[in-house]
Structure 1
Amino acid sequence: MMKKWIAVFAVMLPALAMAESRVGVIDPIGALQAADNVKSRMSALEKELGADEQRLNSLRQEVGKMQEKMQKEGMTMSSDQQEQMQTEGQQKMIEIQSLQRKLQKRANDAQRELLQEMEPKLQSAVAEVAKKENLDLVVSAQAVIYTKPDLDITEAVTKQLNKMK
Structure 2
Amino acid sequence: MKSLNKALTVAAIFGLAMLSNAANAEQKIGVIDVQLVLQSLPQVQVIEQQINAEFQEEIQEVTAMREEGNFLVEKLQREAATMSEEQQAELQGQIASLGQQMQQKGQPLQQNMQRRTQEERNKLLGLIKQAIDGIAASENYDMVINAQSVPFAKDEFDISQQVLDQVSKAN
Q: Which amino acid aligns with 1:35?
A: L
Shift of 1:127: 0.7
Task: Establish whether residue 48 from structure 1 lines up as the match of residue 76 from structure 2.
Answer: no
Aligned partner of 1:89 in structure 2 is 95
Q: Take 1:100 and 1:7, find their aligned partners in 2: how far apart are those partners?
A: 67
Task: Establish whether residue 21 from structure 1 lines up as the match of residue 45 from structure 2.
Answer: no
Number of positions where the alignment pairs a residue of Structure 1 with one of Structure 2: 165
Shift of 1:22: 1.5
Q: Take 1:73 and 1:94, find their aligned partners in 2: how far apart are those partners?
A: 23
Q: Take 2:127 and 2:16, find their aligned partners in 1: how far apart are those partners?
A: 39
Aligned partner of 1:80 in structure 2 is 86
Aligned partner of 1:69 in structure 2 is 75
Match of 1:151 among 149, 153, 157: 157
Question: CA distance change for structure 1 residues 17 and 98 in 2, over 3 Å: closer, same or farther?
Answer: farther
Question: CA distance change for structure 1 residues 10 and 73 in 2, over 3 Å: closer, same or farther?
Answer: farther
Q: Is the 8 A contact 1:129 1:160 kept in 2?
A: no
Q: Which amino acid aligns with 1:71?
A: Q
Cα deviation 1:128-149 (Å, max 9, x = unaligned) = 1112322111011221222222
- Unaligned stretches of 5+ in structure 2? 1-5
Task: Establish whether residue 130 from structure 1 lines up as the match of residue 136 from structure 2.
Answer: yes
Aligned partner of 1:102 in structure 2 is 108
Shift of 1:50: 4.3
**Considering only aligned residues, what root-mean-square deviation do their CA atoms show, in Å?**
3.0
Q: Take 2:98 and 2:121, find their aligned partners in 1: how far apart are those partners?
A: 34
Calculate percent identity across the aligned residue pairs. Answer: 27
Cα deviation 1:91-110 (Å, max 9, x = unaligned) = 22113213331332122221
Match of 2:167 among 137, 141, 161: 161
Normalised TM-score (structure 1): 0.77
Q: Take 1:28 and 1:62, find their aligned partners in 2: how far apart are those partners?
A: 42
- Unaligned stretches of 5+ in structure 1? none
Shift of 1:84: 1.4
Q: Which amino acid aligns with 2:92?
A: Q
Shift of 1:11: 6.8
